[in-house]
A and B are shown apart, each in its own frame.
Chain A
Amino acid sequence: MMSNRTKLSFHVPEPSTRPGDAPNFARFEIPPAGTVRRPDSAVAEAEIRDLPYQLIRVLDDDGQAVGPWNPRLSVDRMIDGLRAMLLTRIFDDRLFRAHRQGKTSFYMKSTGEEAIGAAQSLVLEREDMCFPTYRVLSWLMARGYPLADLVNQIYSNERDPLKGRQLPILYSARDYGFYSLSGNVGSRFGHAVGWAMASAYSEDDKIALAYIGEGTTAEGDFHEALTFASVYRAPVILCVTNNQWAISSFSGIAGGNETTFAAKAIAYGLPGLRVDGNDFLAVWAATEWAAERARTNHGATLIELFTYRAEGHSTSDDPTKYRPADEPGAWPLGDPLDRLKAHLIGIGAWSEDEHAALTRTLTEAVRAAVKEADAVGTLGKSKPGVAEMFEGVFKEPDWRLIEQRRELGV
């Protein structure tokens, strides 16, 4: 018998374009810079439930800093940021090539997302802690982490600060406010909340900042962290770096077609800010706002950093297999490095010549660091003493580790 009921239809979201198509970002509404209001950082969350659906931008299409979110940074601070971003890009290109030359097993670039780590690293204090993803190298660059030690880690050589135990680029740098990375995505998001709760419990003044990719917001870790951050009013800044791609899955597979990632905050009663992640000044301003809110016991903020992963997921990925090859160049919010540079030139604080000179200096610094690490040894040519394999499992090794180390003869 025929039923009168509507047949159900099964929906699987797809991106608007695939390889061979012309790039198309028409699905994103990009409002002009400077149009989003900036409430006081102590505002009640209920007053700002419109913000997660907007896009905080400061740098306009002409490179001018406009609107209430303009952080009015000194030229020196902006050049610090530009330097960190440029250094990140040069380092990424050089180490990606090192992988292709067989010097290491794996590499991941931050290309297109450098403004995020650079700005946030400079906004937060040295005693604060960030709980990174693998695409915020610019955090470390902004704080002057020794380049040769990055390369030593990437090579897992004798001078690897992580003693040969961890995959390339999964750094840990406590003195630089950079928590231990892991290849399991999302699993440190709740650590940031716990760390922030501990700071509040201890009546200290430190805050935490955590990153998660938009794809990983689908993990329970994300929702658990938001719940705890909200319930205990933790002094933490929770950032979703929405770079549109989780390996080959577009953001719609994580729910991005239905709402914004910033809007996830609303159900938890947390402020949600949606920010142009390719705009160094907008990232700075939103982070400063959330940091002030956290430091004054007003709790956590969720920030969606709307950006674009301009390169493949890792050295093991070829993005032309699943998205138009020219999509990166078509991103409507441009390149973060070019935009900050244009702004600095526009206000007369920077020039093409100075930029070229800085590029040369940083390229030389990276080359020297790689050379230094090459001399120690690339992957497989040099490694820490094998005894290190048995250390650090516990604070003190138990009999198993002592016996097994003896069995291996190291």
Chain B
Amino acid sequence: MPTMNMVQSLNSALDVMLERDPRVLIFGEDVGYFGGVFRVTDKLQQKHGLRRCFDAPISEGGIIATAIGMGAYGLRPVPEIQFADYILPAFDQLVSEAARLRYRSGGEFWAPITVRSPYGGGIFGGQTHSQSPEAIFAHITGLKTVIPSNPYDAKGLLIAAIECDDPVIFLEPKRLYNGPFDGRHDQQVKTWAGHRHAEVPAGYYSVPLGKAAVAREGEEVTVLAYGTMVHVALAGIEESGIDAELLDLRSIVPLDIDAIVESVKKTGRCVILHEASRYGGFGGELSALIQERCFHHLEAPVERVTGWDTPYPHAFEWDYFPGPARLAAALKRVMQD
């Protein structure tokens, strides 16, 4: 089985779907001949032709609006927004149109679009190349939001998203494109080589939306994470010496509530880890769900380890970024209760 990094596995997913389904087409800023600023669409235009993978004007609103029109026609567009930080000009299209079209038209029209966008920090990208906007989308009824954490899942989830008849926001943790980053920024950069989730089939397969993965089995506390934070969590758990269970949520809408409840009932403790700022973040929703469903099983308050409630800073990236040490400290705190 080939070894792929996440850029290659996403490229493979797009390649497979362009091959399998003539309704699939890709467009976005710099995605055509050049192959995208992160190379995810590399050579797809050369292989599948100009009309299947082409450059778009710098117009996120226009990209999503035309994608919705194409989806309503019967195509399966996979537009790229170059950075998730740039998605906001398209916000009205995503909220008022993509998410609402099926509902308001009584099922006459829908928008089966998959909006790919690199997100998250850890690359010294400053405020406009680092943000994690997933909670904004999770709040929008009618949108699905998917976040892979490794090359195998990235390919399978992207294929499932393209095949989904609902609009999907597909957030790619850009710090994971080339290797499993665990938050220890002062150590040598790792690649995906040799990682068990970098074994990626060359052909078609899918990973269902809404199914969490147990990234580490454990008994004492449940850690909930997605994207880059899955790898940070593994490092933090190791650092803490605590036997924690780690769930990689993989998608936050739909959310695998059963897996969360089962794990928290087993361990009686939960720490939520995300890169986005805390207040109004998705951790708040997770915490509320656990409180509603697992209250009598809880031995300690649910903790959140997150980015601070500041804009994403440049010089202070590693002060902002919730690394393994902060998680380890939180795990120790909840174990004291």
A residues at B contact (CB < 8 Å): 161-163, 165-166, 170, 172-174, 179-180, 182, 184, 187-199, 201-202, 208, 220-221, 224-225, 227-228, 231, 392-395, 398-399
Contacts of B75 in A (CB 8 A): 198, 201-202
In contact, B65 and A165 (Cβ under 8 angstroms): no
Contacts of A189 in B (CB 8 A): 65
Known contacts being A162-B104, A398-B210, is A190 close to B89, with CB within 8 Å? no
Q: CB of B25 within 8 A of chain A?
A: yes
| Among A172, A190, A197, A225, contact of B109 (Cβ-Cβ < 8 Å) | A172
Q: State the Cβ distance, B273 to closest chain A Cβ, in Å.
A: 23
In contact, B65 and A187 (Cβ under 8 angstroms): yes
Known contacts being A193-B66, A194-B67, is A170 close to B104, with CB within 8 Å? yes
In contact, B102 and A191 (Cβ under 8 angstroms): no
Known contacts being A198-B69, A202-B75, A393-B142, is A224 close to B106, with CB within 8 Å? no
Known contacts being A172-B104, A190-B62, A194-B67, is A393 close to B141, with CB within 8 Å? yes
Nearest A residue to B73, CB-CB = A198
In contact, B72 and A179 (Cβ under 8 angstroms): yes
Q: CB of B87 within 8 A of chain A?
A: no
Which of B101, B102, B103, B107 has the most chain A CB within a 10 Å cutoff? B103
Assembled-state Cα–Cα distance A189/B69 (Å):
9
Write 19 A-B pairs (CB below 8 A) sorted by A numbering. A172-B104, A187-B92, A187-B97, A190-B62, A190-B69, A198-B73, A198-B74, A201-B25, A201-B70, A201-B75, A208-B69, A221-B65, A228-B59, A228-B62, A393-B103, A395-B165, A398-B210, A398-B253, A399-B254
Assembled-state Cα–Cα distance A80/B253 (Å):
49
B154-183 contact mask (Cβ, 8 Å, vs A): 1 or 0: 000000000011100000000000000000
Q: CB of B51 within 8 A of chain A?
A: yes
Contacts of B194 in A (CB 8 A): none
In contact, A163 and B106 (Cβ under 8 angstroms): yes
Q: State the Cβ distance, A294 to closest chain B Cβ, in Å.
A: 15
Contacts of B321 in A (CB 8 A): none
Known contacts being A165-B103, A393-B142, is A224 close to B62, with CB within 8 Å? yes
| Among B56, B62, B68, B254, contact of A398 (Cβ-Cβ < 8 Å) | B254
Contacts of B141 in A (CB 8 A): 393
In contact, A193 and B106 (Cβ under 8 angstroms): no
B187-207 contact mask (Cβ, 8 Å, vs A): 1 or 0: 000000000000000000000
Assembled-state Cα–Cα distance A292/B106 (Å):
33
B15-27 contact mask (Cβ, 8 Å, vs A): 1 or 0: 0000000000100
In contact, A187 and B108 (Cβ under 8 angstroms): no
| Among B70, B102, B103, B144, contact of A197 (Cβ-Cβ < 8 Å) | B70
In contact, B100 and A182 (Cβ under 8 angstroms): yes
In contact, B57 and A227 (Cβ under 8 angstroms): yes
Nearest A residue to B57, CB-CB = A227
Assembled-state Cα–Cα distance A197/B74 (Å):
12
Assembled-state Cα–Cα distance A109/B75 (Å):
35
In contact, A228 and B66 (Cβ under 8 angstroms): yes
Q: A191-B65, A194-B72, A202-B73 are in contact. List 20 more A-B contacts (CB 8 A).
A: A162-B104, A166-B105, A166-B106, A170-B104, A173-B108, A180-B101, A180-B105, A182-B96, A182-B104, A190-B69, A190-B93, A191-B66, A194-B65, A195-B70, A195-B72, A221-B61, A221-B65, A224-B57, A393-B103, A398-B255
Contacts of A179 in B (CB 8 A): 72, 109
Q: CB of B135 within 8 A of chain A?
A: no
In contact, A184 and B72 (Cβ under 8 angstroms): no
Contacts of B253 in A (CB 8 A): 398
Contacts of B329 in A (CB 8 A): none
| Among B67, B71, B109, contact of A180 (Cβ-Cβ < 8 Å) | B109
In contact, B69 and A193 (Cβ under 8 angstroms): yes
Assembled-state Cα–Cα distance A224/B61 (Å):
7
Contacts of B100 in A (CB 8 A): 182
Assembled-state Cα–Cα distance A174/B102 (Å):
12
| Among A161, A170, A191, contact of B97 (Cβ-Cβ < 8 Å) | A191
Q: State the Cβ distance, B63 to closest chain A Cβ, in Å.
A: 8
In contact, B61 and A220 (Cβ under 8 angstroms): yes
Assembled-state Cα–Cα distance A179/B102 (Å):
11
Contacts of B65 in A (CB 8 A): 187-191, 193-194, 221, 224-225, 228
| Among B57, B96, B107, B257, contact of A184 (Cβ-Cβ < 8 Å) | B96
Known contacts being A187-B65, A225-B65, A227-B62, is A162 close to B106, with CB within 8 Å? yes
Which 9 residue pairs are nearest across A and B when measured between Cβ atoms? A194-B69, A190-B65, A194-B66, A224-B62, A198-B73, A191-B69, A180-B105, A172-B105, A195-B69
- B window 14-65: CB within 8 A of A: 25, 51, 56-57, 59, 61-62, 65
Known contacts being A220-B89, A399-B254, is A194 close to B105, with CB within 8 Å? no
Q: CB of B110 within 8 A of chain A?
A: yes
Assembled-state Cα–Cα distance A190/B61 (Å):
9
Contacts of B25 in A (CB 8 A): 201
Which of B67, B72, B93, B97 has the most chain A CB within a 10 Å cutoff? B72
Q: State the Cβ distance, A387 to closest chain B Cβ, in Å.
A: 14
In contact, B69 and A392 (Cβ under 8 angstroms): no
